[in-house]
Amino acid sequence: MSKSLYERIGGEPAVNAAVDIFYRKVLNDDRISRFFDNVDMEKQAAKQKAFLTMAFGGPHHYTGEDMRKGHAHLVKMGLDDSHFDAVVEDLGATLEELNVPQELITEVVDICETTRNDVLGR
C-alpha cells in the first residue's frame, strides 16, 4: 500500500518545520498581510499549524462549513481569488525552501484548491 501524502512529506515534524517560515512569509506579504493585522499571534500560530496539517493531507476536523464560517469576516474585508492565490504561493515557496520535492508540493497545492470555494464563501 502506498504511503499517504502526510507520511511522505514527513508528518508533524514537517508541519513544525514549515509553520514559522510560512507564517512569516504570509505576514510579510503585502498582498495579504492586512488580513492578519488584528490577530493574536499565539492563536494564529495554532491555526496555521492546523491549516498546514490539513494541506499536507494529515488528520484534521475541518468541514467546508467551518471554512466558510472561519473566513466569512475576511470575505467581508474583500478576500478574493488573488489573496487565496497569494497564500498558496507563499506555501509553495515555503516548501521549496525546505527542499520538498516538486511533485509533493503539487499535491499540497491540489488539496488547498479543494477548499477555495468554501474559503471564499461561494
Binding span for other proteins by CB under 8 A among 38-46, 69-77, 91-99, 108-116? 38-46
Binding span for other proteins by CB under 8 A among 4-12, 19-27, 50-58, 83-91? 19-27
Q: Residue 42 or 65: which CB sits closer to other proteins?
A: 42
User: Which of 4, 7, 34, 41 is close enough to bind other proteins by CB under 8 A?
Assistant: 41
Report whether 52 contacts 84 (CB < 8 A): no
Q: Residue 7 or 20: which CB sits closer to other proteins?
A: 20
Any idea of the CA torsion for 89, 91, 96, 101, to the nearest 10 degrees? -100
Number of residues that bind other proteins (CB under 8 A): 12
Contacts with other proteins, 43-72, as mask; x by CB under 8 A: x-xx--------------------------
What's the per-residue H, E or C state across the chain? CCCCHHHHHCHHHHHHHHHHHHHHHHHHCCCCHHHHCCCCHHHHHHHHHHHHHHHCCCCCCCCHHHHHHHHHHHHHCCCCHHHHHHHHHHHHHHHHHCCCCHHHHHHHHHHHHCCHHHHCCC
Instruction: State in angstroms the smallest separation of the CB of 22 from other proteins.
Output: 11
Please report, as ranges, the residues that interact with other proteins according to CB under 8 A. 19-20, 23-24, 27-28, 40-43, 45-46
